[in-house]
Amino acid sequence: MKKYHNIIMTCVISILILAGCVQPAPNTRPWLLDQTDQISPSQLGEMPDPTLPAARDPNAPHFTPTPDAPRTLDTPRASEEQYIVQAGDYLAAIAQKYNIDLDVLINANPNIDPNWLEIGQLITIPAMTPSIPPSDFKIIPDSELVYGPVSSTLDIEAFINQHRGYLMNYSETVDEKTLTGAQIVERVSCEYSVNPRLLLALLEYRSGWVASQNVNSVTQDYPMQVMDENRKGLYKQLAWTADKLNRGYYLWKIGAISYISFNDGGLVMFSPIINAGTAGVQYMLGVDSSSATWQKAVSESGVYQTYVNFFGIPFDLAIEPLIPDGLSQPQMSLPFEEGAVWSFTGGPHTGWGDGSAWAALDFAPPGDQFGCFQSNDWVTAVADGVIVRSGDGAVVLDLDGDGLEQTGWTILYMHIETRDRIATGTQVKTGTRIGHPSCEGGVSNGTHVHIARRYNGEWISADTDLPFVLSGWTSAGVGIEYNGTLSKDGQIVYSWDGRIAENQIQH
């Protein structure tokens, strides 16, 4: 059932789990986790080889990363268009739909009240003409944007303490819990599946929070300079940042974005030879920014230099390919018990937030009740593995058993009730009971379970060339979020936000 996963959900990843397979930290990388705190192999199975690439020889030359193969980009609108306001529309959503800065859209419609739209009203969508040249400078590899294998080597708290900036002593109340700066960075990283190194570099670039004790009064409330009264504080600022990084990254991967518009009316096309990770950073830096500010930020002396000062050359940490050619999903089962008939309530939709890939599907338990109610039906493991996170409505199943969310296949279960919820560290088999569906965690309009896939930290879409296959049922989308089908042996089940004959499914 539909819900909004950008609403706060606590992400509890212990330092024990993060330290699972890392070599002792060399002196050149004091921000690495120490291997001495590994989880017991008897709890998680055999540990994998270390994921950290070899340290660069300081005398080795720095070669420019190879450009990606050129891709064909859609050209921006050459003339104005008119949009008719529909029920539920608001101006910010229309701006996002057309990839226009909100200020630009407001300026193009001086006679429109931006806070009050009427159904049938005409909105002018302005022509988009590039005003500055694209940047083909590659900022980071894909594996440094997502919460991937090498991100598991970063000791976030140790790194922050090493630099002794404003962030070191910062704390904030999130979901009625007091979190330190390090805990907030960790939480946002795992919720959105975005690399904490990148978040720290962007935070330092925008406000100096990591390495300076003296930050100005404005950035104390808005450390990422997202000047929105509803986004005060580090958690909301970083959550916005991670969501925009994801949006640029995943839209670039499916060819659904080709330019960035700025709040000064300028526009830049993406370079056709950059990678998805760079596109994600360029997009995030362009939102609510001016063209001049963006040009500086995406250059070699911008965010890239801040990253290099903290962690070294980002391409030295690249895991390529992050998603291997020919990757196939391991065998998985429907996430509920055999014999039970559930409702398929949500086709492909975002795994987390508004920006991630459409990696998730929703299922609601049987019964006559609607809305949020307590269910005694069981959500089950879709495959063998180990539970690496459990709390606040979320359960994460690691299929390779190494105890890391950042490596291999993982499954996120959302809205799992506290009652009977499985514990972190539990080894499971296909069909093992995980817990009960509910409305816990985030916001939901009814009791259900949300499941989403990741591989090496990347959200894997359920509506492209690697569909979700559960007990032989194969997912497909129709280009509209939450709408889709599951098909098997000529049978088709349609997603529907409720209970109808066409969305009933069982093993």
Q: What is the pLDDT of residues 269-294, one digit of tens each?
A: 999 999 999 999 999 999 999 999 99
Determine the distance from the C-alpha atom of residue 350 to the mean position of all C-alpha atoms in its chain, rounded to a whole number.
Answer: 9
| 210: three-class secondary structure by DSSP | coil
Cα-based distances in Å from 224 to 197, 213, 285, 400: 15, 16, 10, 36
Question: 81-125 has which CATH code?
Answer: 3.10.350.10
Tokens of 85: 């306001």
Chain-centre distance for alpha carbon 69: 25
What was the pLDDT predicted at 11? 41
Whether residue 455 contacts residue 10, with contact meaning beta carbons closer than 8 Å, is answered with no
Quick one: tokens of 95? 């701006």
**Burial of 465: CB neighbours in 10 Å, binned 0-12, 13-18, 19+:** exposed
Q: Is the peptide bond before 321 cis (omega within 30 degrees of 0)?
A: yes
CA 1 to chain centre: 20
Multiple choice CATH, 3-9+329-505, 1.10.3720.10, 3.40.50.300, 2.70.70.10, 3.40.50.1400? 2.70.70.10
Q: Domain extents for the chain?
A: 3-9+329-505, 81-125, 134-317
Q: What is the pLDDT of residue 9?
A: 36
User: 116-140: buried (b, 16+ CB within 10 Å) or exposed (e) per residue?
Assistant: ebeeeeebebbebeeeeebbebbbb
Q: Say what the pTM is.
A: 0.86
Measure the CA–CA gap between 385 and 402, rounded to whole angstroms.
Answer: 9
Provide Rg for the chain, Cα atoms: 23
Give the model's pLDDT for residue 53: 65
Give the list of residues 6+ apart from residue 42 with CB closer than 8 angstroms, or none: none
Q: What is the pLDDT of residues 239-267, one digit of tens each?
A: 999 999 999 999 999 999 999 999 898 99
pLDDT-flagged residues of the chain (< 50)? 1-31, 34-50
**What pLDDT is recorded for position 100?**
81
Residues 486/492, Cβ–Cβ less than 8 Å: yes
pLDDT of residue 51: 57
